[in-house]
Amino acid sequence: MRNNVIFSMLGIILNTIIPIITYPYVTRVLGVDSLGIYNFYSSASTYLILLTNLGISIYGIREIGRFRNNVKQISRIYFELLSINLFMCLLALCFVIYVILSIANPKDSFIISWFYLSVLFTCVGADWFFVALEKQKYLLIRNVIVKLLSLVSIFLFVTDRNDLLIYVAIISLSTILVSCCNVYSVLRFVDLSECRNIHCLRHIKQLMGIFIIDISYRYLGLVDVILLGIWGSKWDVGIYSVALKVVLLCIQFFNVLATTLLPRSSFYINNSEFLEFEKLSRKSVQLICFLCVPLVIFVFYCAHYIIYFLGGADFKDSILALKILSFSILFAILYNTIIFQILYPLGRIKSIIFVNTTGIIVNTILNYILIPNYHYIGIAYSYVITFIISLIIICIINIEDVKFIFTHRMLSYLVASLVVFVFNLLVFMDTILLVALDALIYFFVLYCMKEEFCVNAILYINGIRMRFLRKNNN
């Protein structure tokens, strides 16, 4: 289990490093307007993936995770869910054809066509199948190869502001290549004869619940960007998207913890091992709090450096948006963990849907009020406020299910954060030095309070040092 988490996090690191390498280049070559067009259609296609996926990526992980030792059962589930997914892609194709025929600009039609191919092959690739079987090592190796190929292609073929179409094609082709690798690999784990014994309709009822959860959860960062393009401008989308991309990368890095542990949580609950389930969930939440507080501090105080590195002076307006959005990192990650690692395996579908729907309503109202007047700054405030409200509501409604995560150790993170906050109010110095001191103070306070992860980290480092010294003495 530990190796799977490590492989998953390495995958997220890879997915973080590649954009860090390519994004500064792409933003400078394509410019704000072209990047705004790309992000607009990219957000729309991502939401189309959610619609065609129908919640299968989460539902499939749970169901196959429960029966991962039964080849016939997982084969049947795989073919049933894949058939549902392909049917949804066929319906989406009708909509895409209508949109293409309604658009006069051939450039936009070309972009939409490539993005639809990404949607189709994302469906066929079925990454969720390998996550459910805990094959994170394969996913990591595959991603390394494909990402490196796309990285080289971007630097070779995207060279000026007229190369937006080439950039879209490269991104889409990388998705197609990933899916082809998955189709080839999945044959080792399934029994093809089971494709004749499928009963797709038996999944529909449960899929509807997780579909509503998935699509409502992904509303933030997708539909709100589309609303910014409608109520604001493409320039606002370009500026906001750079800041949002940084925050989403941070959130995705920790969200992989909940996704990776979902099969294990489902297995514990299915076998009535509730103490193991609580232990696993509690450690996940504590680890998130331990690491996310310094991450928020780093993103907030280094926003200037991050934006200038990623986008250059043309995106200087993204700095304030990133500072605002940085406060959402901890709340968004905790919210995701509570939903997908605790409440969903427990079957609390209705309460999750209620809270997500409330968050959508709150976010839409805030966007309607703030975007026309404050543009990308308004949507940044709306994003943060929505996650705070949603996290509070879901903890109150499901207090009996989540109360075990609130231990005395949570107080230590709050105390360390307050100490860092007071220090920053009293001291004025260079940003990089300040962030370094903030990290030292934060971990020092936690060590003084005997926080588990901090003490274990010190013991581990001391162990390495002692082994190194003994080796040299010998």
CB 69: neighbour CB atoms within 10 A? 7
pLDDT at 392: 92
pLDDT at 389: 92
pLDDT at 388: 92
Q: Which residues contact 310 (CB under 8 A, 6 or more apart)?
A: 20, 23, 24, 27, 242, 245, 246
Task: Please provide the DSSP assignment of 79-145 as one string.
Answer: HHHHHHHHHHHHHHHHHHHHHHHH---HHHHHHHHHHHHHHHHHHHH-HHHHHHTT-HHHHHHHHHH
Let me know: does 136 contact 8? Beta carbons within 8 Å: yes
Q: Which residues contact 374 (CB under 8 A, 6 or more apart)?
A: 381
As a whole number of angstroms, the distance between CA 230 and CA 184 comes to 41
3-state SS class at 219: coil
As a whole number of angstroms, the distance between CA 75 and CA 254 comes to 30
pLDDT at 226: 76
| Angle formed at CA 447 by CA 455 and CA 426, multiple of 5 degrees | 155
Amino acid at 432: I
Closest CA to 138 of 47, 21, 294, 8: 8
As a whole number of angstroms, the distance between CA 398 and CA 359 comes to 16
Closest CA to 452 of 206, 283, 225, 323: 283
Task: Give pLDDT tens digits along the chain (474 positions).
Answer: 566 667 776 777 777 677 778 877 887 888 777 777 787 788 778 778 878 888 888 888 878 877 777 788 888 888 888 888 888 888 888 888 877 777 767 777 888 888 888 888 888 888 888 888 878 788 888 888 888 898 888 888 888 888 888 888 888 898 889 888 888 888 888 878 777 777 888 888 888 888 887 777 767 766 777 778 778 777 888 888 888 888 888 887 787 777 777 777 777 887 778 888 888 888 888 888 888 888 888 888 888 888 888 777 778 888 888 999 999 998 998 898 888 888 888 888 888 889 888 988 898 898 888 888 888 888 889 999 999 999 999 999 988 888 888 877 777 888 888 888 788 777 776 667 777 788 888 888 887 877 777 777 777 676 666 776 666 665
Quote the tokens at residue 394: 């879901």
pLDDT at 468: 64
As a whole number of angstroms, the distance between CA 77 and CA 65 comes to 11
Closest CA to 252 of 216, 312, 315, 295: 295
